[in-house]
Structure 1
């Protein structure tokens, strides 16, 4: 295992443990709560995934000098928000996907009504943990209220009408229609990129002393890798099989959605992905060894196989 892979695994394990503590912990489950709903929330949120967004929180927070223990809250919040979006995206009235992360989508494993409620509950849980601060050992690890408020604002913007939800709406409106390359870029800057960008910023916002110049670098970096990630995702959707992806392959073509592959072709799309990753790396020049992991992550998002 390379040093980069080792760091990725460390971040994944930390995120998984933090999520388990905030979803499975009996203290977080009221006595009269629906056991089925909580089971479905755990199914949707704990069942694998790359944890890219949590990695960005941890990496950017460490670069900014944050206390590692304080990074668990924003890391969990962005992963819960991401999981909620996947559950809703997979529903029949959206992308109608049966497979997610190598197993049945939430609405297949449970039912459609439960899946809608899972998304709602994961979203509200994300904001609850951001707003309430650290749930254990507050004196050591809690964040000042103003920093938590900034994170709430950042996440709300990233998943709302000018972020993820807005991007999904534009994506649905464009389905079956011919669109320009820049329109496709805008869709994915909102649908995929906004939450990835928010993850990096929220990591930086966890620092004891906020550095606006560093936040801007991290935002530019994350904006670029969010786009590179989506281009690579479109290529994999076209070239890989469902078993490799852990979700249905060629799904965008079946839904008559415009993709970077349909507009540019595989080779040109791959070149654009690498160009965008290079722009991400360029945006964090000057961070020295602190930025090494982010450079490797940018390269990973365009060379991954799933």
Structure 2
């Protein structure tokens, strides 16, 4: 069972983060939230649509949402800049990108951070962990107010499957432009190749790459399943999507409107998680039956052992290490 963050907890944290204006300034007014997002899977799009429906319902129409979907206003980096400039009110971006704005988010890019899916959900719904992370960008004009599941990143390869750490030795694997991702791959014996996502299909097809790493939709929606043979469920990263709102917009909402927005985010997350699971199950079926790609699981313990130097280095950054310790403690009985 996925426990929602309570609106009361979020509201209390929000009030502690921002100096609220006078009671008169907090008088309720009609507000239209401009929400922009980049290309996303259908469960995320549906959840964002649901958020708009819920917030309008919960505020009796005093808060509405206008959407700018599918990278109409740019990629995720550009959308955060627009948020800071006040050109939009909300956006949804990868937690991996958020490391550029706050090092606390970098912890979520650490390899094999979560024990399993339920551990991930418990962490993301724990205000003792997430309130500090969300608030860490306040001085940059925006804060986090929620999350969506974006699945786990796994290896997919041509020719041979990944069954042991040794199978990765020397393989040319495409990775994101992320130092943590690059360091992770090197510790696993990979020769990491940073390239744009749109170049991956052809590079796999032509043998420039031996493989890549991403969630299931890379093989289905992006059709990478046409040019690879194996998909290994090692789950080396599980990076959340983060919902952001500008400080200015948050402070313009009345107390009741703010509570309604937070409740709508929570409910949309509950729905997104359910539909994400269904979509992943369907994608795995499609990967095997339509694309003929074999799916295999591995014992992740040797993989985790290989990347331990990353965690040892984390100890030199106390704030990030404290978040890591809290995350690992969540699953401790």
Say which one has the larger Rg. 2
TM-score using structure 2 length: 0.28
Bigger fraction of residues in helix: 1
Name which structure has the greater RCO, CA cutoff 8 Å, separation 6+.
2
Bigger fraction of residues in strand: 2
TM-score using structure 1 length: 0.29
